[in-house]
Amino acid sequence: RRPRRALAAGGLALALLAASGTAAYATWNPKSVLEPKFSGLLSSAPSVVGDARSIVSEFDVYQQELARLVTNVTKLYDVTSTLPAYQPDPTTMRVLHVSDIHLNPASWKIISSLVEQYDIDVIVDSGDTMDHGSATENGFLDPIADLGVPYVWVRGNHDSHTTQRYLERFKNVHVLDDGRAETVAGLRFAGIGDPQYTPDRSEKAGGDAVEHIAGIRLASALRAERAAGTPVDVAVAHDPTAARETDGEVPLVLAGHIHRQEMEVMEKGTRLRVEGSTGGSGLRAVDDKYPDPVEASVLYLDRTTKRLQAWDEIRLGGLGLTKAEVSRHLPKENRPGAPPATTSPTPSSDRSAEGRSPESG
């Protein structure tokens, strides 16, 4: 079931706000016709979830309200986003990119809501799902089994091999490491786990040098897959430093680690997508004056070419905040009037020449 358009914008808005059980104020605030942004604010949030100090004691209420908010905003966005040049159709492949959940239990309700609202085909988690990677944390991962879609995962520097072994037991989880490739939901993925395990953030390990080496190993695996006639559509690494080593070897590479969303086209044509923290940097954010936002993205890929057509950035206010925002973005080559793309790594048989200059957004 693709996002619903059965009701007019006004009627749907009223129905959703009534169903939410709390008053809401929402405005559509597009930057342009091509890339709209929809934002909503739960005006009675203080009476619903209180301040950050009460979140710990009333966390179940808080995470339910967050999930409800993201559901309402994404539904409203679907109706009001009929203007962009790009419109996904029933054949469009939809990938939910999450990262750096950091043991925040509210993330699972948000992810579940996004899976339902966007009719997601596959989730990609670029690591740091845990905080310390201990066996006692493993139960936190159990909701993944009930998400109803495949879950592609790579190890982050806060995840341990204990974490990895636990996830390998789940039927819907596809753990990628050492350049291993798998076809999941019609897309060919390959990934590598983070070479560092540094749950204590004061601890310094090998730094960028080992990340470069990991990225080189992943790039080598991508070349081997292409030589074998099974080219990879999407590569996954935790650290962007490792991900950058795949430039020219794959059309799209996903990463996380830095807790902010970024998108760029690298020198040889590979598009690098870095996800923010889908856990708002974890429950430790309660102590911060300005908590990190909860972020995730929906990537739209063409089913035939496996190329990225557009992406939606979802951003929720951090712990204690209730602002939600969804914005759609188009690759420059997909915008009206743009010249056809001529240089980009491709997973199909007609691999193009490399040499595309960097581009952001």
pLDDT at 87: 77
Q: Give me the CATH number covering residue 317.
A: 3.60.21.10
pLDDT at 90: 86
Confidence check: pLDDT of 285 > 80: no
The Cα 7–Cα 313 span in angstroms is: 24
Q: 25-34, 102-111, 132-141, 194-203 — which is least confidently predicted?
A: 25-34
3-state DSSP assignment of residue 293? coil
pLDDT at 4: 42
In contact, 70 and 316? CB cutoff 8 Å: yes
- More confident site: 27 or 194: 194
In contact, 238 and 255? CB cutoff 8 Å: yes
DSSP string, 91-124: T-EEEEEE---TT-THHHHHHHHHHHHHT-SEEE
Radius of gyration of the chain (CA): 20
End-to-end C-alpha distance for the chain, whole angstroms = 29
Q: Does 329 reside within a domain?
A: yes
Give the pLDDT mean for 339-359.
45
3-state DSSP assignment of residue 354? coil
In contact, 310 and 326? CB cutoff 8 Å: no
At 10, is the pLDDT very low, low, confident or very high (cuts 50, 70, 90)?
A: very low
- More confident site: 336 or 95: 95
* Tokens representing residue 290 in the block: 């300005």
* Tokens representing residue 150 in the block: 């495949």
Q: What is the pTM (predicted TM-score) of this model?
A: 0.77
pLDDT at 24: 31
Q: Does 169 reside within a domain?
A: yes
- More confident site: 51 or 202: 202
Q: Does 350 reside within a domain?
A: no
Cβ neighbours for 200, distance < 8 A, ≥ 6 positions apart: none
pLDDT at 71: 65
DSSP 44: T
Give the pLDDT mean for 252-268.
97
Q: Does 61 reside within a domain?
A: yes
pLDDT at 189: 99
* Tokens representing residue 41 in the block: 């604010």
Closest by alpha carbon to 17, among 27, 3, 30?
27
The Cα 223–Cα 281 span in angstroms is: 34
Q: Does 254 reside within a domain?
A: yes
The percentage of residues in the chain with a pLDDT greater than 70, rounded to a whole number, is: 63
Provide the 10 A C-beta neighbour count for residue 284.
17
Instruction: Give the ranges where 127-278 is alpha helix by DSSP (H).
Output: 161-167, 208-227, 240-243
The Cα 49–Cα 315 span in angstroms is: 19
DSSP 40: E
H or E segment and range at residue 323: strand 323-329
Please state the φ and ψ torsions of residue 67, each to the nearest 5 degrees.
-65, -40
Question: Number of folded domains in the chain?
Answer: 1
Range of the domain at 87: 9-334
Q: 60-69, 127-136, 302-311, 343-352 — which is least confidently predicted?
A: 343-352
Q: Does 352 reside within a domain?
A: no
At 65, is the pLDDT very low, low, confident or very high (cuts 50, 70, 90)?
A: low
Give, in order, the Cα–Cα distances in Å from 334 to each of 66, 201, 242, 331: 33, 40, 27, 5
Closest by alpha carbon to 236, among 199, 166, 182?
182
The Cα 326–Cα 116 span in angstroms is: 16
Average pLDDT taken over every residue of the chain: 77
Give the pLDDT mean for 36-58.
42
At 106, is the pLDDT very low, low, confident or very high (cuts 50, 70, 90)?
A: confident
Q: Does 243 reside within a domain?
A: yes
Q: Does 309 reside within a domain?
A: yes
DSSP 296: E
pLDDT at 205: 58
